[in-house]
Amino acid sequence: MTQFMGSFTGKLDRKGRVSVPASFRAALERMGCPDLVLRLSHTDPCIEAWPLTTFTTMASGLNQLEVFSEAHDDLSLSLFADSYPMRPDGDGRVMLAEDAVAHAALGEAVTFMGRGTSFQIWEPAAAAKRVAEARQRARERGLTVPAPRAATDGRAA
């Protein structure tokens, strides 16, 4: 599985464009999905970036909620109202919407953080703080990644 890994600093230009890190663009190429969905995170002051196919799969979980329920309404608006599908230009740049820049409190410098199946765009100091908090909470809670289940024929699943 192709994953977005690492943290990188970039610059936001006056037109609101930023270059997606080369390794992230390469991951998109390996996935065969050049299109991204950029969205305002509903949990953090950052911009989330999802490969379109991954976003579509993730968002399909809404189908498990009652269509006219408050939970469906809140989550569907949170996922889609501030989402912007786009494809990086020939130079690997994406245009960030003004409301997205404001939501993440971005200045000239931005930090890209890989999250496996997606990545995030943060204000650099906020990114460093978020990673430190995540490490601390993971350590305090003794979090670890579950081991893959063994397949019935003895091979890893």
Q: What is the pLDDT along the chain (157 residues), one digit of tens a residue?
A: 679 999 999 999 999 999 999 999 999 999 998 999 999 999 999 999 999 999 999 999 988 999 999 999 999 999 999 999 999 999 999 999 999 999 999 999 999 999 999 999 999 999 999 999 999 999 999 999 998 887 655 555 5
pLDDT at 2: 72
The first and second tokens of residue 20, run together, are 């997606």
Please provide the size of the chain in residues: 157
Domains in the chain, CATH or no CATH each: 7-141 (3.40.1550.20)
pLDDT at 147: 85
- Helix locations, 60-151, DSSP H: 70-80, 98-103, 124-141
- Helix locations, 1-152, DSSP H: 22-31, 52-59, 70-80, 98-103, 124-141
